[in-house]
Each structure stands twice: as structure tokens, then as C-alpha cells.
Amino acid sequence: MFDSLSDRLGGVFDKLRGRGALKEQDVRDAMREVRIALLEADVALPVVRRFVDRVTEKAIGQSVLRSVTPGQQVVKIVNDELIETLGGDVTPELDLAASPPVVIMMVGLQGSGKTTSTAKISKLLKDKQGKKVMMASLDVNRPAAQEQLKVLGEQTGVATLPIIAGQQPTEIATRAMQAAKLQAVDVLMLDTAGRLHVDQQLMDEMKAVAGIATPRETLLVVDSLTGQDAVNVAQSFAGEVDLTGVVLTRMDGDARGGAALSMRAVTGKPIKFAGTGEKMDAIEVFHPSRVANRILGMGDIVSMVEKAAEAVKVEEAEELAKRMEQGKFDLNDLRTQLRQMQSMGGLGMLAGMMPGMKKAKAAMAASNMDDKVLLRMEAIIGSMTKKERANPALLNAKRKIRVANGSGTQVQDVNKVLKMHQEMSKAMKQIKKMGGLKGLAAMFGK
Ligand code: GDP
């Protein structure tokens, strides 16, 4: 899977050398090659453009962590962006939260692997989730289609709706709903008819079936080997029916990965499953992070950079704790703390992170602080010089105007940050008086 893309990307990052901040020209050179690699992998052009822009923007000027090389750091940025492009760091689950029978309608072109995927997903639900599943083929176009599903049902131990010759898809759907209710089936899988191309009759048929069965999930099955075509097919289906997800088949043979990488961005629909072979258990829940890892083939480097970043955070936190204990707390420290808050999940964590700061918290609540405010505060502090951060008393009216302009805010915003810092350092001094961090518990208001 994705061999050629992995190979192409592999060489790019070794060329990034030097230390300190990532240099713009180096990043741009590397991204030119990433761009070519993605285009050769048949990734849709707008997706490639956005990908490269976002990685470039994140990488340029970023300071390189201790104990990793610039190349390794960019690998991590590319990895994160791959995950985003593939659908983010979540695993899209099937939504089965409805009163049974929950209907999953499978749609797609002929030969895409629809019938096979119907049986594979049924088996997965039965074996892994203990669901009682029934499958029904609504494909009256292809002569052996219903028979094929029956055989797969026997192979996987999943019940199929008995075949009655001559029925129309909507009649079969109605009968399937009745049978599923009667037999207390949890999940009813409807394998709709395919066509060679997207046509109106097919779309109408799907809509009629959806009207009868009100599917909770409508999964489009596409063949990843068809690359851009798969994405085009998905786009036309998405325009006609309410798709809830995509099943990408033949990922076992897909060395390029273009369809996988374009699908989410172009259709807005998550890839929920990947077909990886002809056997009935050759299907995987689609985990964007795992797939990104396979595309890049550099999982070791990614986790190394993550660990290095973690180590820096721990060092910073320890340093901060030490300074707090000594009653020192300048705006540099406040900035560090703001960053930590963001990386630790924003303001939700605030209460736990600011011991005893009832006043500051009240001030924040009064100023309607949300996570955007954190970013703005950081921008304000970032517009100060290092000296000003270490000694806020330097900030006279003229300097405040400069800082406000530099951060795109107002002088009153700058004042708010300074006020907050004052409150905090006052509290820090109290902590010191109460016997350092050990006295903290008392300040939690316990
Ligand atoms: P349908 O016309 O869309 O229902 O397609 P089928 O389910 O009949 O699949 C067509 C062919 O593709 C069959 O020979 C399947 O075994 C094969 N196939 C389906 N999914 C995969 C997959 O993920 N990997 C591979 N290698 N073959 C697959």
C-alpha cells in the first residue's frame, strides 16, 4: 500500500539540514518535491496545493526542537497534515444509534466491490460487535448478484433475505424491512444495484429505496485503484444522496494513494473502511493516523519528535514551577503558561492550572475569555521585547501603543494582559509566603 508515495517522500527530508529555525528556502525546496510526489500519486490538484501551503506555513520559522534534526521536524509536520487531509485524528465510527433494525445502505458503481464490502462489514458487525445482521441484495440488474450475496452470507454466517425472483428493488427493500423487524435484527445491510456509470435511473432507484428504509448510514463504495475517477464518482454520488461515508476498496493494490488522500477534502465525507483484499476479513476500519503513518513510512521519527516536544514541555513546566516557587513570574513565564494551556486543551484546563487564582479567574470570566483570547494574549506578549517581558514596568504609554499595533489589538487589551499578570504574580508571591508549592493546596480553596 502506498509504496511509491512513501519512497518519493522518503528522500525529501534528508536534505533539510542546519540547526535553529527552519529556513524558508529549505522548506520551499522540500515542499516542491512533496508537491511532485503527491501529484504523481494522483492526488487531486486543489488538495495538493492546500497540503503544501499548510505544511509550508507551519514549517517556516519553526524552531527546531533539541535532539531532532530539521528534516525530522518537517516529517512530523507533514505527518500531521497527512492525518488532517485523511480526515483528522478521529476514527469515524458507524452510527448505529437508532431503533433497530438500523439500516446501512451500500451504494456504488458495478465492480467497485460493493457486494464484497457489504458482506465484509456485516461480518465485522457480527463478529466484533455481536450484532445480529441481515443482508439483502436489491440488485436486480446483474443476474447473479443476489445469488452472490447469498453465497457470501453462507460463507460468513450472516443471514440473507430469501430471494424472490421478479421483485423490484423497492419491493425487496420493503420485504427486507419487514423480515428484519420480525426477526429482531440489529442491523440490516442493503446492497443496492450498481451501474457502469453514474446515471439518473440509478440515483432515482437509490432515493426510492432510501425513502422506504431510511438508512442511518449510506456508504459509497469506490475502487481506490481508479484514483481521480473514484473521487469524481464520489463527488457525483455526494451531490445526489446523503452519503455518510466512503468505503475505499482495493487498498491492497493501491501504491499511489491519490484517492485516499483526495477523498475527504473533495467530498467532505469520511472514509470509514478500507478494503484490503478479496477475503472476507480483508477490511479495516480507516484510521487516518495509521494510514498517514503508512504513507510516510516514518512512524519512528514521528514518535521521536513527539517525545522530544514532550520533553521540552516537561522542562518548561519544571522551570516555571521553580520560578513560581521563588516568587518570580514575568511575562515570559506567562507566555510559556499560555502556550501550555493551549496545548493542554485550552481554557477548559484553566481552573486546574492556575492555583488559587480566584481573582484572575473572575477577571477572565468578566472579560469573556475564550480560547481565542488565549491566542490574542499570546500575540500581545509576543509583540513585546524580551526586556519588556522580563520587566513589564518598562511598558510606558508609547510602548503599549507599539505592542497593540504589533499584535493587532488595542491598548486596553494590552492593559488587560498586564493586569492579569499583576494579579498572577501577586498570587505567586503569596504562594512563596505560604511555604512554596507545598502551600498550594491551601490556595485551591479546599
Ligand atoms: P460489486 O459489483 O461492486 O458488487 O463488486 P464485487 O463485490 O462483486 O467485487 C468485484 C471484485 O473485486 C471481486 O472479485 C472482489 O473479490 C474484488 N474485491 C472487492 N474488494 C476488494 C479489495 O478490497 N481488494 C481486492 N484485492 N479485491 C477486492
Calpha distance 407→376 (Å, rounded): 8
CATH no. for residue 349? 1.10.260.30
Is residue 240 domain-shared with residue 336, that is, in the same domain?
no
Total H helices, total E strands in the chain: 20, 8
Output the CA 315–ligand 1 centroid distance in Å. 53
Is residue 144 domain-shared with residue 261, that is, in the same domain?
yes
Any domain includes 293 = no
- Which atom of ligand 1 is closest in space to residue 251's alpha carbon? 23
Is residue 243 domain-shared with residue 192, that is, in the same domain?
yes
Any domain includes 12 = yes
Domain total in the chain: 3
Output the CA 54–ligand 1 centroid distance in Å. 36
- Phi, psi (degrees; rounded to nearest 5) at 58: -70, -35
Any domain includes 303 = no
Is residue 191 domain-shared with residue 152, that is, in the same domain?
yes
Output the CA 276–ligand 1 centroid distance in Å. 10
Q: Are 318 and 403 in contact, with CB atoms under 8 Å apart?
A: no
Is residue 35 domain-shared with residue 167, that is, in the same domain?
no
Residue with the nearest Cα to atom 9 of ligand 1? Answer: 113
Is residue 48 domain-shared with residue 179, that is, in the same domain?
no
- Phi, psi (degrees; rounded to nearest 5) at 55: -65, -45
Is residue 277 domain-shared with residue 331, that is, in the same domain?
no
Is residue 345 domain-shared with residue 418, that is, in the same domain?
yes
Helix, strand or coil, per DSSP, at residue 360: helix
Q: Which of 255, 286, 317 is the last residue of a domain?
A: 286
Any domain includes 318 = no
Per-residue pLDDT, 271: 92
CATH no. for residue 258? 3.40.50.300
- Which atom of ligand 1 is closest in space to residue 274's alpha carbon? 23
Calpha distance 337→349 (Å, rounded): 12
Output the CA 51–ligand 1 centroid distance in Å. 31
Any domain includes 294 = no
Range of the domain at 261: 102-286
Output the CA 254–ligand 1 centroid distance in Å. 14
Residues in the chain where the model's pLDDT stays below 50:
345-359, 439-446
Q: Which of 48, 63, 90 is the last residue of a domain?
A: 90
Is residue 341 domain-shared with residue 378, that is, in the same domain?
yes
Q: Are 282 and 252 in contact, with CB atoms under 8 Å apart?
A: yes
Tell me the ipTM for this assembly: 0.98
Is residue 190 domain-shared with residue 245, that is, in the same domain?
yes
Is residue 79 domain-shared with residue 119, that is, in the same domain?
no
Any domain includes 166 = yes
The DSSP code for 21 is B
Output the CA 319–ligand 1 centroid distance in Å. 58
CATH no. for residue 27? 1.20.120.140
Top mutation candidate among 110, 112, 116 for ligand 1, by most atoms within 8 Å of CB: 116
Q: Are 268 and 46 in contact, with CB atoms under 8 Å apart?
A: no
Per-residue pLDDT, 320: 73
Calpha distance 315→143 (Å, rounded): 68
Per-residue pLDDT, 4: 65
Any domain includes 304 = no
Per-residue pLDDT, 430: 72
Residue 379 half-sphere exposure toward CB, CA atoms < 13 A: 15
Burial environment of residue 22 by CB neighbours within 10 A (0 to 12, 13 to 18, 19 or more): buried
Q: Which residues are annotated as a binding site?
A: 108-115, 191-195, 249-252
Q: Who lines ligand 1 at CB under 6 A?
A: 108, 110-116, 194, 249-250, 252-253, 275-278, 282
Residue 287 corresponds to which cell in the numbers above?
A: 484510521
Q: Which residues are annotated as a binding site for GTP?
A: 108-115, 191-195, 249-252
What is the residue whose three cell numbers read 522548506? 27
Is residue 107 domain-shared with residue 23, that is, in the same domain?
no
Residue with the nearest Cα to atom 25 of ligand 1? Answer: 277
Which residues partner with 275 through β-bridges? 283
Q: Which of 45, 68, 90 is the last residue of a domain?
A: 90
Output the CA 117–ligand 1 centroid distance in Å. 8
- Which atom of ligand 1 is closest in space to residue 120's alpha carbon? 20
Any domain includes 351 = yes
Top mutation candidate among 252, 278, 279 for ligand 1, by most atoms within 8 Å of CB: 278
Calpha distance 74→31 (Å, rounded): 10
Helix, strand or coil, per DSSP, at residue 244: coil
pLDDT averaged over the chain?
A: 82
Q: What are the tens digits of pLDDT across the range 363-413?
A: 555 555 566 777 888 889 989 998 898 888 899 999 999 999 999 999 999
